């Protein structure tokens, strides 16, 4: 079992059966109805219940055109649980955006799930001809994005919260065109086994 899976297993240590089968976190495009539904539920948990930015549902017009990405905690018995999500979309030729980045509370800061989602988001857009990848980042997350080779373009107030408009350095995000399979997080949060 990888170190990442060990750390993930620690968060379910109250359930010995779950520890025994916990295996890995896979980052991939959310293609199945179940993956998409779990990603949307996770967004509601984070942006409605936890942060209170939206009342009941954070769905908007971008969801009709965006590609959703999901982080799946995969067990050896074949069961899966969505523990993270983000979405990407192209607003004009070559200009891509990431939004609604969310990781389940029990999966944060233990296995670089958020960093893995950002990697597949930017690298998938790069494979689709992205020239500029942008995101409106909540200010408390700016250090994380800076470490992942993003820079701040301006400061904004969105939904009454301070944000930075940030841009990814595409040199650090080589194109990934097999997002349907995605990748398994390695111990340092980089792309692991396909």
Ligand X SMILES: CC(C)(COP(=O)(O)OP(=O)(O)OC[C@H]1O[C@@H](n2cnc3c(N)ncnc32)[C@H](O)[C@@H]1OP(=O)(O)O)[C@@H](O)C(=O)NCCC(=O)NCCS
Q: Which residues bind ligand X (CB under 6 A)?
A: 46, 101-103, 108-115, 137-138, 141, 143-144, 189
Structural tokens at position 156: 């904004």
Give the closest residue to 118 by CA, choosing from 162, 148, 83.
Answer: 148
Asked whether 6 and 157 are in contact (CB, 8 A), the reply is no
The minimum distance between CB 31 and ligand X, in angstroms, equals 21
The minimum distance between CB 97 and ligand X, in angstroms, equals 12
Nearer to ligand X, 103 or 176 (CB): 103
Nearer to ligand X, 10 or 181 (CB): 10
The minimum distance between CB 71 and ligand X, in angstroms, equals 8
State the residue number with the nearest CB to ligand X: 114
Residue showing tokens 């029990």: 106
Nearer to ligand X, 80 or 141 (CB): 141
Cα separation, 170 vs 130, in Å, equals: 9
The minimum distance between CB 3 and ligand X, in angstroms, equals 8
Which residue pairs, CB below 8 angstroms and at least 24 apart, start in 151-159? 159/53
Cα separation, 138 vs 45, in Å, equals: 17
Structural tokens at position 158: 């969105």
Nearer to ligand X, 129 or 153 (CB): 153
Nearer to ligand X, 106 or 129 (CB): 106
The minimum distance between CB 116 and ligand X, in angstroms, equals 7
Contacts of residue 107, defined as CB under 8 A and 6 or more positions apart, other chains included, come to 8, 11, 25, 71, 73, 83, 84, 113
């Amino acid at each position: 079992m990888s170190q990442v899976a060990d750390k993930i297993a620690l968060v379910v240590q109250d359930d010995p059966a779950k520890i025994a089968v916990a295996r890995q976190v896979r980052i991939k495009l959310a293609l199945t109805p179940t993956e998409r539904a779990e990603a949307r539920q996770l967004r509601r948990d984070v942006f409605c219940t936890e942060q209170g930015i939206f009342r009941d549902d954070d769905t908007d017009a971008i969801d009709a055109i965006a590609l959703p990405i999901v982080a799946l905690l995969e067990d050896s018995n074949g069961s899966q649980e969505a523990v993270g999500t983000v979405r990407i979309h192209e607003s004009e030729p070559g200009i891509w955006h990431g939004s609604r980045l969310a990781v389940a509370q029990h999966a944060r800061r233990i296995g670089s799930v958020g960093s893995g989602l950002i990697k597949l988001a930017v690298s998938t857009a790069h494979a689709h001809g992205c020239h500029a990848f942008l995101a409106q980042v909540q200010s408390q997350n700016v250090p994380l994005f800076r470490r992942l080779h993003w820079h701040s373009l301006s400061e904004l107030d969105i939904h009454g919260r301070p944000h930075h408009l940030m841009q990814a350095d595409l040199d650090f995000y080589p194109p990934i065109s097999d997002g349907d399979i995605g990748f398994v997080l390695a111990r340092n949060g980089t792309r692991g086994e396909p």
